[in-house]
Amino acid sequence: MPERPVITLSLSTLLTLLLTGLALILLWQLRWLLVVLMVAVVIAATLAPAVNTAERWGLPRWLAVIGVYFALLSLLVGFGVIIGPTVAEQIQRLLRKLPAYLEVLANVLENLSIRWGLTEPDTWAYLESLFNLQSLTTWGLRTSRDLLVRSYSLTRGLVGGVLSTLLAIILSGYMLTGSESLIRGLVQLFPTPWDSQLAAQVRPVSQRMGGYIQGRILVSAILGVAISLGLNFLGLSEFALGLGVIAGFTNLIPFFGPVLGSIPALIVAIAQGGWLFLWVLLLFVIIQNIETYVLDPLLVGNTVQVPPILQLLAVLGGAQVLGIIGALIVPPWVAGSLVVLDNLYIQPKLKAQDSQNLPPVDDSPHPSLPLSS
């Protein structure tokens, strides 16, 4: 009868497992702080090129950081003062008229169902339930609540979210100011030669993460302006700026953001009647194709080099775990992780394979050539 294998655990293995378990529990308890650190790293990577440029102009690094943050704050306040009141007024007007617009949408669907012969009570009841104001409101609130709950559970509510944002900004400023000493202190925790290899990855990782956010912000701004101008040209000047701002903000989330941003404009276009719905739909289709095939490859894809499937998984996974915050910050972290994976694993592996496949070098002299005397 064969003997059963005996599994033995040494004391060091048990201590390692115990410490690992305690570390995981500690990280779970500090998940709010970890998310704040993740946001801070993304902000620092996004603003690093501007800080480096200001430093090259002769400013001390701490003063360059303060100048960049002050310029960014001034830009945001300026936009808020110039277009903020108009955007707020248009969005409030849209919310007041939304129930009437949804009622018009329901009537349009009812007329289409009659024209197409879908007059069965069960069919119409199903369509009415899909586009009923109460059903739409319930679905939207439930979906938004699920995303916000995941975010608020980390930030501990609205006040916690504001404080978390301020803390992330302060931490990112500290990271930008003392980046060299901070990186030197972190990499010293790893043994040789990992310390030098990891230190060499900081700049490309920062460029990849910052490039992703910079590209998404630039693309979203361009799309917001284009949609506002297009809707104004098509006759929706009453809501053009507000709808453009909504589309620009939602476009920060890849894949799903553009679709979400087009829904309010399409509902308004249906309520206006005529051919306006088709023209607005055509406008969004054209703009989204320009984004997909022109703007994203030029402003995001060339600097980030993340396959679309990984971006999609990053958005889905981030939204599932961290809500809206995760949908925004997880993709740049995936982009930065791919740099480390490529430089420290894939490229050395390919070089090792190439060196093994090379034919051996013959150092003996060629027989047809006489040896020198």
Q: How far apart are CA 316 and CA 326, in angstroms?
A: 9
Mean pLDDT by 10 residues, the chain (373 residues): 58 80 79 84 91 89 91 90 89 85 75 64 54 49 50 53 82 86 79 81 86 88 92 89 90 80 87 85 90 79 70 80 79 87 84 72 50 41
For position 370, what pLDDT does the model report? 46
Q: What is the DSSP string of 3-44?
A: PPPPP---HHHHHHHHHHHHHHHHHHHTHHHHHHHHHHHHHH
Q: How far apart are CA 287 and CA 284, in angstroms?
A: 5
Report which of 295, 276, 324, 274 is spatially closest to residue 224, judged by C-alpha positions: 295
For position 156, what pLDDT does the model report? 52
Q: How far apart are CA 164 and CA 35, in angstroms?
A: 9
For position 74, what pLDDT does the model report? 93
Burial 38-67 (b: 16+ CB within 10 A, else e): bbbbbbbbbbbebbeebbeeebebeebbbb
For position 227, what pLDDT does the model report? 93
For position 127, what pLDDT does the model report? 53
For position 23, what pLDDT does the model report? 82
